[in-house]
């Protein structure tokens, strides 16, 4: 018994001594070399429909480890944002977290915007409002409207191609005879079309964390997302194609590129819709190259 008490006392003091180190390693942010004048860039990452900032966890880690500053945002009603998608009144309200962040960016700073899927609409809004604060915008298999391809028409065409499957859920906040107001991806749709080439752990994460996304009507897009050549058009754009995307198929991605040609196009082979989950290293290398090009 005496020996047992000594052993327990030893472990108590051992963990008491170790606990501050453990706490620090878990709570401290990853080390970064992005200190004034360094080579690190500021990446701002915007998620797609029904997702959140959590969807960038692999890419954020890689970018920070390379010395970059990363801000992954939750749009209104997404991720851990407390608002409910059903209650959103406008696209301007949805994209408010990005607009607020861009408003806080210093006059001498330029960020690299990265939008995934529906996030392309959000970064397009920021390009129109804050072109002088953006070095380049990257559309990762994303909706890419433009001055000659308005958002309402683009989304209308995209919805003709989309099939969310039988288990995705709609709500009808304006009544059953009106168009749906929110959409939540179903678990079967997530497995078959969204995370179909991603690790199973990422599919589980997605099934756990998806939230409804608001479905704005055409009039709302025409009001809230007007893009001009003078402002939106002054920002360099790169489109990242996913060749095995089952949500936004490659043929539609190519159609968008033809209608609104960007400054560069890069293709990721063997990726699903979640490029940052299925091919994080490839996407990291692409973004690193883009950052060097537009430094």
Among 80, 51, 76, smallest CA distance to 275 is for 51
Set 74, 81, 202, 245: catalytic member? 245
Among 214, 256, 267, 244, smallest CA distance to 94 is for 214
Among 261, 274, 285, 41, smallest CA distance to 140 is for 274
Number of H helices, E strands in the chain: 12, 9
Set 47, 68, 214, 273: catalytic member? 273
214 catalytic per annotation: no
117 catalytic per annotation: yes
Among 164, 236, 228, 154, smallest CA distance to 194 is for 164
Is 21 buried (19+), middle (13-18) or exposed (0-12) by CB count in 10 A?
Answer: exposed
Q: Strand order of the sheet with strand 169-171? A: 169-171, 182-184, 213-214
Among 172, 57, 77, smallest CA distance to 122 is for 77
273 catalytic per annotation: yes
Set 117, 135, 168, 278: catalytic member? 117
Close Cβ partners of 259 (under 8 Å, ≥ 6 residues apart): 146, 148, 149
Determine the longest span between alpha carbons in the chain, in angstroms.
83
Active site residues: 117, 245, 273
């Amino acid at each position: 018994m005496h020996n047992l008490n000594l052993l327990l006392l030893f472990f108590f003091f051992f963990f008491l001594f170790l606990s501050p180190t453990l706490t620090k390693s878990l709570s401290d942010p990853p080390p970064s070399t992005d200190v004034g004048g360094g080579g690190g860039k500021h990446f701002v990452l915007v998620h797609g429909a029904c997702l959140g900032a959590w969807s960038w966890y692999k890419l954020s880690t890689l970018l920070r480890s390379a010395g970059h500053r990363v801000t992954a945002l939750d749009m209104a009603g997404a991720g851990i944002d407390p608002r409910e998608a059903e209650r959103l009144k406008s696209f301007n309200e949805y994209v408010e977290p990005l607009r607020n962040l861009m408003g806080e960016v210093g006059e001498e700073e330029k960020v690299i915007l990265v939008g995934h899927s529906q996030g392309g609409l959000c970064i397009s809004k920021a390009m129109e409002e804050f072109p002088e604060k953006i070095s380049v915008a990257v559309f990762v298999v994303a909706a890419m409207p433009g001055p000659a391809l308005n958002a309402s028409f683009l989304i209308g065409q995209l919805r003709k191609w989309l099939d969310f499957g039988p288990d995705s859920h709609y709500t009808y906040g304006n009544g059953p005879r009106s168009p749906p107001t929110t959409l939540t991806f179903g678990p079967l749709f997530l497995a078959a079309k969204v995370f179909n080439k991603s690790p199973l752990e990422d599919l589980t994460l997605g099934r756990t964390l998806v939230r409804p996304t608001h479905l704005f009507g055409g009039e709302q897009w025409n009001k809230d997302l007007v893009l001009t050549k003078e402002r939106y058009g002054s920002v360099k754009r790169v489109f990242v194609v996913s060749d095995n995307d089952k949500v936004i198929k490659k043929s539609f991605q190519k159609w968008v590129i033809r209608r609104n040609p960007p400054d560069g196009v890069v293709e990721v082979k063997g990726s699903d819709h979640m490029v940052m989950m299925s091919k994080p290293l490839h996407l990291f290398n692409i973004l690193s190259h883009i950052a060097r090009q537009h430094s």
